[in-house]
Structure 1
Amino acid sequence: MAQGAGMDPTRAILGTFAQAFVDGDWQTNINHLEAKVEIDKRELKLVGHNWVQYKIGAKKGSGTMSGYKVSSKMIQQDFKKFEIISKLDDPEAFGFERVRLIRCMPDSVQLANWTAGEEVTEDTPFTFEDYELLDPIVI
């Protein structure tokens, strides 16, 4: 049985070559970055429709940045706003993607979290107020 042309598995993007920049500085210790936008979807029940209709309300951006602790920068940053640029890259992919997260603010600042004999990691949950897709991956 002949198979059609499917996805080239080498084009699947791995996070191995991803980068995170905070206020322009490459964070080589970061090994996980997640950001998403949720919308406040309003339900509308309109005459003449037997389906609920939806209207987009306010948007909310949130995420988490995780990695190895190498400095006290996040403690010193306190709750001041900063900018993150996420670069998702893979040499075998169709290109790379950069997303700018604007006016980020930590939800919490980790002051201590260690165990003898283990690497110290740092998780920073945050919110952001806007985003910009700087470089899309286009096929």
Structure 2
Amino acid sequence: MEKGQVYEILGTEGISGTFGEVWLDGEYVAEIEGCQLKVDFEKQTVARPRRMMKAHKTVGAEGKGSVTMTKVKSRMINLIGQRMQDQKTLAFELISKLDDPDSIGAERIKAKDVQFDDLTLADWKNGEVGKIEAPFTFDGFDLIDVIK
């Protein structure tokens, strides 16, 4: 598309999270319900003479995210708990893929050095299907596939 050209999206081109997938340390996570990866920017205020509005300079960034899963098996207990007991580094690789067949492309992003914020050992309620919410931080990312 040329610069300045107007493009009208079709309703079918909106990407549905139904087609989202996650791999954690190379293992497919079949029970995934949702995934979020984002970068929070750390900014410092820069005062400027004779200006009412403050300026800002980005001086750092932090990767944060979370995965939500249906409780099917003890995936997180096995993955994190064993490494913790072995006193090994608790860093993982996570790949998010969003590939709706109606969309104009697919998106895959790799989060590097994922470190989970906590380990839920038990959390259930009578009459409800269990869910696991696992927030984390990450130290870097690679854009494997992006939609242009």
What is the TM-score when the length of structure 1 is the normalising length? 0.88
Which residue identity does 1:114 align to in structure 2?
A: W
Alignment correspondent of 2:136? 126
Q: Aligned runs of 1:28-107 on 2, under 5 Å?
A: 28-47=30-49, 49-76=51-78, 77-78=80-81, 80-107=90-117
Structure 2 CA distance, aligned partners of 1:52 and 1:121? Answer: 43
Alignment correspondent of 1:113? 123
Which residue identity does 2:142 align to in structure 1?
A: E
Which residue identity does 2:56 align to in structure 1?
A: Y
Deviation beyond 6 Å, 4+ runs, structure 1:
none
Instruction: Give the number of aligned pairs.
Output: 135
CA-based RMSD: 1.8
Which residue identity does 1:13 align to in structure 2?
A: I
Structure 1 CA distance, aligned partners of 2:7 and 2:59? Answer: 41
1:11-54 residue CA offsets vs partner (Å, 9 max, x unmatched):
01001111001011110101111111111111111346554222
Structure 1: gaps of 5 or more residues: none
Structure 2: gaps of 5 or more residues: 1-5, 85-89
Structure 2 CA distance, aligned partners of 1:5 and 1:48? Answer: 42
Distance of aligned partners of 1:41 and 1:7 in 2 relative to their CA distance in 1, 3 Å threshold: same
Identity of aligned residues (%): 33
